[in-house]
Copies of this chain bind each other. A is one copy, B any other.
Protein backbone atom coordinates (compact mmCIF):
# COMPACT_ATOMS: atom_id res chain seq x y z
CA UNK A 1 0.00 0.00 0.00
CA UNK A 2 1.27 3.45 -0.87
CA UNK A 3 2.32 6.06 1.62
CA UNK A 4 -0.24 8.34 3.06
CA UNK A 5 1.48 11.39 1.61
CA UNK A 6 1.47 11.00 -2.16
CA UNK A 7 2.32 14.68 -2.49
CA UNK A 8 5.30 15.39 -4.70
CA UNK A 9 7.42 12.84 -6.50
CA UNK A 10 8.90 12.21 -9.91
CA UNK A 11 5.97 10.16 -11.13
CA UNK A 12 3.54 12.89 -10.14
CA UNK A 13 5.44 15.46 -12.12
CA UNK A 14 5.31 13.27 -15.19
CA UNK A 15 1.60 12.66 -14.72
CA UNK A 16 0.89 16.37 -14.43
CA UNK A 17 0.67 16.76 -18.17
CA UNK A 18 -2.91 15.48 -18.17
CA UNK A 19 -3.88 14.61 -14.62
CA UNK A 20 -3.46 18.10 -13.27
CA UNK A 21 -5.41 19.58 -16.13
CA UNK A 22 -8.13 17.01 -15.60
CA UNK A 23 -8.23 17.99 -11.95
CA UNK A 24 -8.81 21.56 -13.06
CA UNK A 25 -12.04 20.28 -14.55
CA UNK A 26 -12.22 21.81 -17.99
CA UNK A 27 -13.67 19.97 -20.93
CA UNK A 28 -11.58 22.14 -23.17
CA UNK A 29 -8.71 19.88 -22.18
CA UNK A 30 -10.19 17.03 -24.17
CA UNK A 31 -10.11 19.09 -27.34
CA UNK A 32 -6.47 19.90 -26.79
CA UNK A 33 -5.69 16.26 -26.13
CA UNK A 34 -7.42 15.21 -29.32
CA UNK A 35 -5.38 17.78 -31.16
CA UNK A 36 -2.15 16.44 -29.74
CA UNK A 37 -3.32 12.98 -30.61
CA UNK A 38 -2.15 13.43 -34.17
CA UNK A 39 1.45 13.71 -33.05
CA UNK A 40 2.27 10.03 -33.29
CA UNK A 41 1.46 6.58 -32.02
CA UNK A 42 3.35 7.22 -28.79
CA UNK A 43 1.34 9.82 -26.93
CA UNK A 44 1.26 9.93 -23.16
CA UNK A 45 -2.02 11.81 -23.06
CA UNK A 46 -3.72 9.26 -25.25
CA UNK A 47 -2.61 6.33 -23.17
CA UNK A 48 -3.59 8.13 -19.98
CA UNK A 49 -7.06 8.70 -21.34
CA UNK A 50 -7.27 5.09 -22.44
CA UNK A 51 -6.26 3.97 -18.95
CA UNK A 52 -8.83 6.17 -17.25
CA UNK A 53 -11.53 5.01 -19.60
CA UNK A 54 -10.77 1.33 -19.07
CA UNK A 55 -10.36 1.83 -15.33
CA UNK A 56 -13.71 3.55 -14.97
CA UNK A 57 -15.46 0.71 -16.70
CA UNK A 58 -13.77 -1.93 -14.56
CA UNK A 59 -14.13 -0.02 -11.29
CA UNK A 60 -17.79 0.64 -11.99
CA UNK A 61 -18.76 -2.91 -12.89
CA UNK A 62 -16.45 -5.02 -10.75
CA UNK A 63 -15.58 -2.72 -7.86
CA UNK A 64 -12.22 -1.35 -6.79
CA UNK A 65 -10.70 -4.31 -5.02
CA UNK A 66 -11.83 -6.86 -7.58
CA UNK A 67 -10.26 -5.14 -10.55
CA UNK A 68 -6.58 -5.73 -11.12
CA UNK A 69 -4.19 -3.29 -12.68
CA UNK A 70 -3.28 -5.90 -15.24
CA UNK A 71 -6.89 -6.13 -16.36
CA UNK A 72 -7.07 -2.38 -16.77
CA UNK A 73 -3.82 -2.28 -18.69
CA UNK A 74 -4.95 -5.12 -20.93
CA UNK A 75 -8.26 -3.37 -21.63
CA UNK A 76 -6.43 -0.17 -22.48
CA UNK A 77 -3.88 -2.06 -24.55
CA UNK A 78 -0.87 -0.69 -22.73
CA UNK A 79 1.76 -1.99 -20.37
CA UNK A 80 0.97 -2.43 -16.68
CA UNK A 81 3.84 -0.33 -15.43
CA UNK A 82 2.42 2.75 -17.12
CA UNK A 83 -0.31 2.92 -14.49
CA UNK A 84 2.28 3.56 -11.83
CA UNK A 85 4.24 5.82 -14.14
CA UNK A 86 1.34 8.11 -14.89
CA UNK A 87 -0.86 7.80 -11.82
CA UNK A 88 1.67 6.71 -9.21
CA UNK A 89 -0.55 3.89 -7.96
CA UNK A 90 -3.84 2.11 -8.40
CA UNK A 91 -5.34 4.55 -5.94
CA UNK A 92 -4.08 7.46 -7.99
CA UNK A 93 -5.81 6.06 -11.04
CA UNK A 94 -8.98 5.64 -9.02
CA UNK A 95 -8.79 9.25 -7.89
CA UNK A 96 -8.31 10.40 -11.46
CA UNK A 97 -11.45 8.47 -12.42
CA UNK A 98 -13.28 10.11 -9.54
CA UNK A 99 -12.20 13.59 -10.61
CA UNK A 100 -13.39 13.04 -14.13
CA UNK A 101 -16.71 11.66 -12.94
CA UNK A 102 -17.17 14.61 -10.61
CA UNK A 103 -16.50 17.01 -13.47
CA UNK A 104 -18.96 15.27 -15.76
CA UNK A 105 -21.68 15.27 -13.15
CA UNK A 106 -21.02 18.95 -12.60
CA UNK A 107 -21.30 19.90 -16.23
CA UNK A 108 -24.43 17.80 -16.54
CA UNK A 109 -26.23 19.32 -13.58
CA UNK A 110 -25.01 22.87 -14.04
CA UNK A 111 -26.66 23.04 -17.43
CA UNK A 112 -29.53 25.45 -16.97
CA UNK A 113 -32.73 23.57 -16.28
CA UNK A 114 -35.91 25.20 -17.47
CA UNK A 115 -37.90 23.50 -14.74
CA UNK A 116 -38.33 20.50 -12.50
CA UNK A 117 -39.90 18.55 -15.35
CA UNK A 118 -36.75 18.86 -17.41
CA UNK A 119 -34.62 17.86 -14.45
CA UNK A 120 -36.70 14.74 -13.96
CA UNK A 121 -36.56 13.89 -17.62
CA UNK A 122 -32.81 14.25 -17.53
CA UNK A 123 -32.55 11.98 -14.48
CA UNK A 124 -34.59 9.30 -16.18
CA UNK A 125 -32.50 9.30 -19.31
CA UNK A 126 -29.37 9.34 -17.20
CA UNK A 127 -30.44 6.22 -15.34
CA UNK A 128 -31.70 4.38 -18.38
CA UNK A 129 -29.75 5.17 -21.50
CA UNK A 130 -26.92 3.07 -22.91
CA UNK A 131 -26.11 0.75 -20.06
CA UNK A 132 -22.94 -0.64 -21.62
CA UNK A 133 -21.04 2.38 -22.80
CA UNK A 134 -18.61 4.36 -20.72
CA UNK A 135 -21.15 7.18 -20.51
CA UNK A 136 -21.83 9.02 -17.29
CA UNK A 137 -24.32 6.29 -16.55
CA UNK A 138 -21.98 3.79 -15.01
CA UNK A 139 -19.98 6.42 -13.26
CA UNK A 140 -22.38 6.45 -10.39
CA UNK A 141 -21.01 3.07 -9.53
CA UNK A 142 -17.77 4.76 -8.72
CA UNK A 143 -19.40 5.35 -5.39
CA UNK A 144 -18.32 1.90 -4.36
CA UNK A 145 -15.91 2.05 -1.51
CA UNK A 146 -12.30 1.62 -2.48
CA UNK A 147 -10.87 0.77 0.92
CA UNK A 148 -8.68 3.83 0.66
CA UNK A 149 -9.53 6.64 3.02
CA UNK A 150 -8.56 9.47 0.71
CA UNK A 151 -10.44 8.17 -2.30
CA UNK A 152 -13.48 7.53 -0.16
CA UNK A 153 -13.42 11.10 1.08
CA UNK A 154 -13.45 12.37 -2.49
CA UNK A 155 -16.22 9.94 -3.31
CA UNK A 156 -18.36 11.21 -0.46
CA UNK A 157 -17.72 14.83 -1.36
CA UNK A 158 -18.69 14.14 -4.95
CA UNK A 159 -21.93 12.52 -3.89
CA UNK A 160 -22.90 15.32 -1.54
CA UNK A 161 -22.01 17.90 -4.13
CA UNK A 162 -24.19 16.12 -6.67
CA UNK A 163 -27.00 15.95 -4.14
CA UNK A 164 -26.91 19.69 -3.54
CA UNK A 165 -26.89 20.37 -7.25
CA UNK A 166 -29.95 18.24 -7.77
CA UNK A 167 -31.76 19.69 -4.77
CA UNK A 168 -31.06 23.20 -5.99
CA UNK A 169 -32.47 22.34 -9.39
CA UNK A 170 -35.61 21.10 -7.62
CA UNK A 171 -36.06 24.39 -5.79
CA UNK A 172 -33.99 23.93 -2.67
CA UNK A 173 -32.55 26.99 -0.93
CA UNK A 174 -29.85 26.48 1.64
CA UNK A 175 -31.21 29.18 3.91
CA UNK A 176 -34.88 28.24 3.62
CA UNK A 177 -35.98 25.79 6.28
CA UNK A 178 -39.17 25.00 4.40
CA UNK A 179 -37.23 23.43 1.53
CA UNK A 180 -34.86 21.50 3.76
CA UNK A 181 -36.46 18.07 3.16
CA UNK A 182 -35.68 18.49 -0.52
CA UNK A 183 -32.03 17.75 0.17
CA UNK A 184 -32.89 14.36 1.55
CA UNK A 185 -35.39 13.74 -1.21
CA UNK A 186 -32.84 14.60 -3.86
CA UNK A 187 -30.50 12.04 -2.38
CA UNK A 188 -33.24 9.46 -2.37
CA UNK A 189 -33.69 10.14 -6.06
CA UNK A 190 -29.98 9.53 -6.52
CA UNK A 191 -30.32 6.33 -4.51
CA UNK A 192 -33.03 5.23 -6.88
CA UNK A 193 -30.79 5.84 -9.87
CA UNK A 194 -27.95 4.07 -8.13
CA UNK A 195 -30.03 0.98 -7.50
CA UNK A 196 -31.38 0.84 -11.02
CA UNK A 197 -27.99 1.30 -12.62
CA UNK A 198 -26.51 -1.35 -10.38
CA UNK A 199 -29.14 -3.93 -11.16
CA UNK A 200 -28.93 -3.18 -14.85
CA UNK A 201 -25.17 -3.23 -15.25
CA UNK A 202 -23.18 -4.85 -12.49
CA UNK A 203 -25.73 -7.46 -11.49
CA UNK A 204 -27.73 -8.43 -14.55
CA UNK A 205 -31.01 -9.07 -12.82
CA UNK A 206 -34.17 -9.63 -14.78
CA UNK A 207 -36.47 -8.08 -15.73
CA UNK A 208 -34.97 -4.67 -15.07
CA UNK A 209 -31.74 -5.52 -16.85
CA UNK A 210 -33.42 -6.15 -20.18
CA UNK A 211 -36.17 -3.59 -19.79
CA UNK A 212 -36.31 -0.98 -22.51
CA UNK A 213 -35.90 2.70 -21.87
CA UNK A 214 -39.56 3.36 -22.58
CA UNK A 215 -40.66 0.69 -20.13
CA UNK A 216 -38.58 2.25 -17.39
CA UNK A 217 -39.37 5.87 -18.18
CA UNK A 218 -42.93 5.87 -16.84
CA UNK A 219 -42.37 4.41 -13.37
CA UNK A 220 -39.11 6.27 -12.90
CA UNK A 221 -40.71 9.58 -13.79
CA UNK A 222 -43.40 8.79 -11.27
CA UNK A 223 -40.84 8.15 -8.57
CA UNK A 224 -38.81 11.27 -9.27
CA UNK A 225 -41.95 13.36 -9.43
CA UNK A 226 -43.14 11.96 -6.12
CA UNK A 227 -39.78 12.76 -4.58
CA UNK A 228 -38.97 16.15 -6.06
CA UNK A 229 -42.11 17.79 -7.39
CA UNK A 230 -44.88 16.99 -4.94
CA UNK A 231 -45.54 16.01 -1.36
CA UNK A 232 -43.05 18.37 0.20
CA UNK A 233 -43.55 21.88 1.47
CA UNK A 234 -43.33 24.21 -1.57
CA UNK A 235 -42.12 27.78 -1.24
- Residues from 136 to 185 in A contacting B, C-beta threshold 8 Å: 143-145, 147, 152, 155-156, 159-160, 163, 181, 183-185
The answer to whether residues A222 and B211 also contact, given A62-B145, A63-B65, A63-B144 and a CB cut-off of 8 A, is no
Question: Is A83 part of the contact surface with B, judged by Cβ < 8 Å?
Answer: no
Nearest chain B CB to A212 CB, angstrom units: 10
Contact B219 A181 (CB under 8 A): yes
Q: Which B residues are in CB contact (< 8 Å) with A193? A: 195
Q: How many residues of A contact B (CB 8 A)?
A: 51
Contact A191 B188 (CB under 8 A): no
Which single residue of chain B is at the shortest CB-CB distance from A167? B207
Residue of B147, B152, B159, B223 near A188 (CB, 8 A) is B223
7 tightest A-B CB contacts, nearest first = A191-B195, A195-B195, A194-B195, A65-B66, A226-B226, A65-B65, A159-B205
Contact A203 B145 (CB under 8 A): yes
Question: Is A196 part of the contact surface with B, judged by Cβ < 8 Å?
Answer: yes
Question: Is A199 part of the contact surface with B, judged by Cβ < 8 Å?
Answer: yes
Nearest chain B CB to A86 CB, angstrom units: 24
Nearest chain B CB to A110 CB, angstrom units: 20
How long is the Cα–Cα vector from A231 to B222 in the complex, in angstroms?
8
How long is the Cα–Cα vector from A185 to B192 in the complex, in angstroms?
12
Q: Can you show 27 pairs from A to B with CB atoms below 8 A apart?
A: A62-B147, A63-B65, A63-B66, A65-B66, A143-B205, A144-B203, A152-B203, A155-B203, A159-B203, A159-B205, A160-B206, A181-B215, A183-B207, A184-B207, A184-B211, A184-B216, A187-B199, A188-B196, A188-B208, A188-B220, A190-B195, A191-B195, A191-B198, A192-B195, A195-B196, A218-B231, A219-B226
